[in-house]
Amino acid sequence: MKQELEEQLVKKYPKLYAQYGGDMTKTCMHWGFECGDGWFKIIDELSAKLEPYGFVEAAQVKEKFGGLRFYTDGVDSDSFDEIQKLIDEAEMQSYKTCERCGEPGEPKGGGWISTLCDNCRNSE
């Protein structure tokens, strides 16, 4: 994801992204958001739902097998199911959203699966 988009998320949701840019031996957020700009809206909407919990921190945000992966630290057992449901919904939405541009897309690929729209896939 572009640095400017990452910085928008970190500024808007400081508690959730407290680990952003942290020590690489302690957090995968050292490397930032490891996905394309097209999922910015999905991540922003998920972040808005998670930030109010206050105790949840993003430990890693990335693409894997054509879908968004959003891993957290600090989730207590009372809130786990509710928080996981929000994350699952965002991850499912990513499988219908082009990772590059945010338009409708679908996962395809052989060795590397990517969720892209036809335009972005054809420009590869």
pLDDT of res. 76: 87
- Structurally, how many domains does the chain consist of? 1
Range of the domain at 38: 3-122
Query: What's the pLDDT tens digit per position in 3-49?
Result: 999 999 999 999 999 999 999 999 999 999 999 999 999 999 999 99
pLDDT of res. 111: 83
Q: Which residue from 47, 64, 62 is spatially nearest to 8, judged by alpha carbons?
A: 47
pTM (global) more than 0.85: yes
Query: What's the pLDDT tens digit per position in 74-88?
Result: 998 889 999 999 999
Residues ≥6 apart with Cβ < 8 Å to 47: 9, 12, 13, 16, 17, 58
Which residues are 33's β-sheet partners? Answer: 61
